[in-house]
Amino acid sequence: MSEGTDIATTIPIFPGSVDTAGQRATLGVLGGGQLGRMFVHAAQRLGYFTAVLDPDAQSPAGLVSHHHIQTAYDDPAGLAQLAQLCQAITTEFENVPAQALQTLAQTRAVAPGAAVVGIAQNRIEEKAHFTACADISGVTCAPYTVIETPAQLQDVLANRADLLPGILKTARMGYDGKGQVRVKTVEELGAAWAELGGVACVLEKMLPLTAECSVLVARGWDGQVVSFAPQRNVHVDGILAVTHAYEGNMPPALATRSREAAVAIAQHLGYVGVLCVEFFVVDDGSAHGGLVVNEMAPRPHNSGHYTLDACDASQFDLQVHAMAGLPLPQPRQHSAAIMLNLLGEVWLDASGQRREPDWQAVLSLPGTHLHLYGKEHARIGRKMGHLTITGPDVDSVKTVARRAAGWLGLPGLNDI
């Protein structure tokens, strides 16, 4: 599979360049959240103008971009304006309408393309892709089956008890633990499918997990690929809480396998841009060999935010390079790092009233790097920012991270 449009006359797009019509080199992004904001910062630092399409007048990325097109993602006039302003366009999240990317790709370089984003939007297609490329990636997904109709549900109830206990996941629009129900019995499975509205789902067997990890890969239009070392992740209630990024965060053999598997998955897709592949580390003595692919995100990822402070090229730098057709430097991590996610709870007291975190104390700690996303309203579970701690060695980073997490009342403290 390959993606994109005929880019021979548009790539590379050099930063700071001006075409014969006087138009400055401009990169666009669909989506105005924190990932779009960090992409905009990276593009602007290189010298590009930027344009954001997002319906929210106060979107974090729109507030810092040269242009903010305030329309729906599928609005024809808005898409036409974005295409007029930009030479290349990306997306900050996978649930942007794939048709919008397909429309833009008729006249502009779009990375990643609609076909790949469409796969990532649908767990059924995503798992089929992982299965199809298992021979080259060396990993496969957990045992699963598809439930799209009452007849398929009845078949599973009668014949697939081997998948229980399991997790029933909606095929679309599930993220940060949403659209997922754990089920132990056939009775719970039937009730869960009804609770999720009888929509298309996958039932995935629960495996004995020992850890979760993710790998960030960047691939260019010319097929060049670079990657970051795997990061080990800790989730609380389905939302990323802590990322460990340092040498020794995983057994070396598993780290190598996950990195090679992520690169193989990107190559099999003919992917262009930054791709995050998430894995489960399992301990079941089976043919899984300790590693199972979970899902992929066709964009930079929350677990890669540490690269802004701990690496000489961040995931957002590579996103800009890939879409603009610039060379992809192999990133080098210069500091051990732990990233702590900051959700809306940090700004709320026990009664739900807003309070200000003790930034004076937190920022007095060595190696702390605070990133707030410019969101006005703190809500339970809403990603408001992150704190990355860097240092010369793992022990010092862990010590500071524990102190910061304790002062902020963050979950996952025991996993640092």
Asked if residue 205 belongs to a known ligand binding site, the reply is yes
Beta-strand runs (E) in 154-253? 166-170, 180-183, 201-205, 209-219, 225-227, 231-236, 239-245
Asked if residue 178 belongs to a known ligand binding site, the reply is yes
What region does 410 belong to: left with phi over 0, alpha with psi -120 to 50, or beta?
beta
What is the signed CA dihedral for 175, 344, 367, 328, rounded to 10 degrees?
30
Q: At CA 402, angle to CA 398 and CA 407, rounded to 5?
A: 150
Asked if residue 249 belongs to a known ligand binding site, the reply is no
Asked if residue 294 belongs to a known ligand binding site, the reply is yes
| SS3 state at 344 | helix
Is 27:41 a contact under the CB 8 Å cutoff? no
Asked if residue 235 belongs to a known ligand binding site, the reply is yes
Beta-strand runs (E) in 8-93? 26-30, 49-53, 67-69, 88-91
Return the closest-CA partner of residue 244 out of 63, 388, 89: 388
Asked if residue 127 belongs to a known ligand binding site, the reply is no
Return the closest-CA partner of residue 338 out of 234, 227, 238, 260: 234
d(CA 408, CA 387): 11
Asked if residue 180 belongs to a known ligand binding site, the reply is yes
Asked if residue 375 belongs to a known ligand binding site, the reply is no
| SS3 state at 239 | strand
Asked if residue 206 belongs to a known ligand binding site, the reply is yes
Is 31:54 a contact under the CB 8 Å cutoff? yes
Return the HEC string of 275-325.
EEEEEEEECCCCCCCCEEEEEEECCCCHHHCCHHHHECCCHHHHHHHHHHC
Is 288:282 a contact under the CB 8 Å cutoff? yes
Asked if residue 223 belongs to a known ligand binding site, the reply is no
d(CA 127, CA 87): 33
d(CA 178, CA 199): 14
Asked if residue 269 belongs to a known ligand binding site, the reply is no
Tokens coding 233: 């992740």
Asked if residue 306 belongs to a known ligand binding site, the reply is no
Asked if residue 207 belongs to a known ligand binding site, the reply is yes
Beta-bridge partners for 169: 180, 202
Q: What is the DSSP letter of 228?
A: P
d(CA 379, CA 197): 26
| SS3 state at 148 | coil
Q: Which residues are annotated as a binding site for ATP?
A: 123, 169, 174-180, 204-207, 212, 235, 294-295
Q: Which residues are annotated as a binding site?
A: 123, 169, 174-180, 204-207, 212, 235, 294-295
